[in-house]
Chains A and B, each alone.
Chain A
Amino acid sequence: MSEEKRRFWAYMIVGVLALISVSTYAYNEYYIYLSVYMWFGFVYGMCLQYGRFCFSSAFRDLFAVGVPRMAVGIMIAIALFGLVGAFVSATGLSTFHSAPTSFHAVVAGFIFGVGMTFAGGCASGSMYKTGEGNMNALLVVLSISVTQAIFVDIGGWTNSLVPEAWKASALTKGLPASITVTDGWVDQYLAGYVWDQPVMSFATMLGWTDKSYIGAFIGNLLIGVVIPGALLLVIVYYIWSRKTYMRKNLPKDQAAPTWRNELAGYWAMISASKRTAIAGLALGIAAGLHMYAIQGLRVKFGMRNAGALLERIGFDFGLSAQGTVFDPGYWYVTTQEAQWVGWLFHRLGWNHLDNIFFGWVNGIPNPAFNPADWMSIALFGGAAVMALLHNEFKFKKPTLETATWALMGGALMGIGSRLGLGCNVGAFFVRVSQGDPSGWLFGLGMVGGAFIGVKLVNHWTERRMAQQFAASKI
């Protein structure tokens, strides 16, 4: 594709999104709420593509090829999102709510971690790669979407796998008759187990509130994010970066490194990939501002969930039994992916409003009016614009082998994200940044999953490479 054509398509994408924003706002001012989601999604897409920002790479490349650049970039993004988030939280405008904390987050993260290694990208990474024209990544997105929509409504024989205690506890939650809480494994897992787990933050564990300055900045940011993040990077530095730095930079007449050398090496690791660090910086700031903007609009329009806006506009199909739709107020990926498939299945006759995930919490609004879907579509667009402007856009057709990896990985990520109530973004990036300990548990699981996933992928590539060496007589 010539440079003129690439520029044309990049401007076309921006123009179409701008036209959607302007025309819908002219029709009804409430659409600005959806447009805010859309433009933040666009920025996320640009940042992710620019920095090749992939959470899968952060964990996987450490084990696979000993490269720490993405782990560093993600910690920078988390710290900056945490800083902006602490300010938003202390001013009482945060849209964030901690998730239940228990061992389930580790198990969910583990399954998700294996999946993202197989798929070659995490949930958000697969989205920006789709924007680069990678159809393998699109298969991953489709696999995550379909798997989630099926998984959250699957009942039948899976009901026999539910512990009696979960079933009994689920029945006490007072859910309306439209939600068949004892028919569905995920329903009973959520209402009978997850909802019974403690909800906390580092601030509340220390006796402060999330909305106080001391709770937000000392509890959630310093103790919950900065200190553990810096310590983790020290581990990464000692295992994966220190040896190379000292080999290159330690004077030959110096026997052992000093503290000054160690600090210089640590800083060199952090500043090694400027591109990733810049993307992490922009991503962290954007994610924090996103919360601020959405909460501001909620105050302006006098509502707490986009379901109320959709009703006012006249689109009340697919709202949950509480009149809500999925409206996190910050960056999220997998729930809206499940929603459009849930909406489609429901339209085709499979009732998807009788389960907790859709029917009680998130709804299945028409994707054309779903705020979070606007964010995801624009994320594809932002990544495509950045790839087009940097001559990195290329349509890539899947092969049988790559499609198999994509579908398997996507399915595992879909299951992991529903068990963990989110993906690498919602269950890890956002939660860790906002001082929710369950985010660290999900991350711990992801590290374990990535380690096992790399072992399995390595076994496969070893075999393929041995065949090639034999054919080349090397």
Chain B
Amino acid sequence: MKFEKMTEGQYRLDVKGYVCPHPQLYTKKALEKLSPGETLEIVFDNPSSGESIAVMCDNTGDEITEQKLDGGMYVWHIRKA
């Protein structure tokens, strides 16, 4: 697992290889740390985590601005509400 600051207000969370509940737990904790308007790029390869992260963002109001899937690898961008 790797969490890093890319540029000002942009962060990246890499949770490739992890299964539930780790990707959604790390995403939750990362988003809690961000300030409103900042963005988080998450990279994961556990499909079921995507379902949970989507509902979690819907509940908190955080916006998923981009979703990519390539060869079983998911890259999502989330803007903190």
Contact = CB atoms under 8 A, between A and B. Distances in A.
B52 A132 contact: no
A6 B26 CA distance: 31
A117 interface: yes
Contact of A134 (B26, B46, B58, B73): B46
User: Taking each of B11, B19, B22, B47, which has the highest tally of chain A beta carbons within 10 Å of its own beta carbon?
Assistant: B19
B56 A66 contact: yes
Nearest to B24: A65
Interface string B51-81: 1100110110000000001111100000000
Interface string A66-101: 111110000000000000000000000000000000
Interface string B34-60: 000000000001111001100110110
Given A468-B3, A469-B3, A120 B51 contact: no
Contacts of A66: 56, 59
Interface stretch (A28-36, A170-178, A272-280): A272-280
Contacts of B56: 65-67
A276 B18 CA distance: 22
A211 interface: no
Interface of A: 1, 52, 54, 56-57, 60-61, 64-70, 117, 119-121, 125, 129, 132-134, 136-137, 244, 272-273, 275-276, 387, 391-394, 396-399, 402, 406, 454, 457-458, 461-462, 464-465, 468-469, 472-474
Given A52-B47, A469-B33, A61 B21 contact: yes
Contacts of B4: 468, 472
Contacts of A272: 55
Given A52-B51, A465-B30, A396 B45 contact: yes
A294 B55 CA distance: 39
Contacts of A398: 17
Given A57-B48, A465-B26, A244 B72 contact: no
Contacts of A393: 72
Contact of A52 (B3, B48, B58, B69): B48
A394 B5 contact: no
A397 B5 CA distance: 27
B18 A67 contact: no
A69 B51 contact: yes
A81 B29 CA distance: 37
Contacts of B47: 52, 132, 387, 392
A52 to B, nearest CB: 4
Contacts of A465: 3, 26, 29-30
B73 A462 contact: no
A273 B17 contact: no
Interface of B: 1-5, 11, 17-22, 24-26, 28-30, 33, 45-48, 51-52, 55-56, 58-59, 69-73
A65 B46 contact: no
Nearest to A243: B59
Nearest to B2: A468
A464 B52 contact: no
Contacts of B2: 468
B45 A57 contact: no
A473 B33 CA distance: 12
Contacts of A137: 19
A125 to B, nearest CB: 8
Contacts of B24: 61, 64-65, 67
B3 A394 contact: no
B3 A121 contact: no
B71 A1 contact: yes
Contacts of B48: 52, 54, 57, 125, 129
Nearest to B16: A396
Contacts of B72: 132-133, 387, 391-394
Contacts of B21: 57, 60-61, 64-65, 117, 120, 454, 457
Q: Which of B11, B25, B69 has the most CB of A within 10 A?
A: B25
Contacts of B20: 54, 56-57, 60-61, 120-121
B70 to A, nearest CB: 8
A217 B16 CA distance: 46
12 contacts: A54-B20, A67-B55, A68-B55, A69-B51, A129-B19, A244-B58, A273-B51, A273-B55, A397-B17, A457-B21, A457-B22, A464-B26
